[in-house]
Amino acid sequence: MSSTVTTDKPSFITRITARMDWRSNIIYVAFILVFILFAVTLGDSGFLSGTNLLNIVRQTATISVMAVAR
């Protein structure tokens, strides 16, 4: 009798999460979760409006430049 060995390939999500270092990326995951929370709860209040998103980019630009220049 021949025995067949099946090798189950891990899924795409499993491969990505296995390579991801959660400690170094947790701040980005938290930011995305907070962004989604505000987008859902304040959907029609203007959170995702162009003006508000431009204000967010302007307010974080200085800190982002300093963080990258470090």
State pLDDT tens for residues 42-57. Answer: 878 888 888 988 998 8
Q: How much is the mean pLDDT over the chain?
A: 81
What does the alpha-carbon distance between residue 20 and residue 30 come to, in Å, rounded to a whole number? Answer: 15
pLDDT computed for residue 14 by the predictor: 76
7 pLDDT band, cuts 50/70/90, is: low
- Per-residue pLDDT reduced to its tens digit, 11-24: 877 777 777 677 77
pLDDT computed for residue 58 by the predictor: 93
Contact present, 43 and 37 (Cβ < 8 Å): no
